[in-house]
Amino acid sequence: MLVETGDEINKDTPLLIIESMKMENKIFSPYSGKIKEIYVKEGEQVKNNCLMIEIA
């Protein structure tokens, strides 16, 4: 996790890193805002279309 709840972010800010098939992929913010809620924890397996971070 590269951000915390309450952080102000800009478009294209790296939010988190997902590991899939031994490859790490950075997930970037689609727009500017403030991190309202983080729904996943480090090391947790996530499913397809899972809400991970809410940006307000």
Contacts of 32 (CB under 8 A, 6+ apart): 9, 10, 11
The pLDDT value given to residue 46: 92
The pLDDT value given to residue 8: 98
Q: Domain range for residue 13? A: 8-55
Within-domain flag for 14: yes
Within-domain flag for 33: yes
Within-domain flag for 3: no
* Number of structural domains the chain divides into: 1
Taking the model in full, what pTM does it have?
Answer: 0.85
Task: Specify whether the CB–CB gap between 16 and 3 falls below 8 A.
Answer: yes
Within-domain flag for 29: yes
Output b/e per residue, 10-48; b: 16+ Cβ within 10 A. eeebebbeeeeeeeeeeeebeeebebeebeeeeeeeeee
Within-domain flag for 20: yes
Within-domain flag for 40: yes
Nearest to 46 by CA among 30, 28, 27: 27
Within-domain flag for 2: no
Q: Which tens digits make up the pLDDT trace of 5-38?
A: 999 999 999 999 999 889 999 999 999 999 999 9
Within-domain flag for 1: no
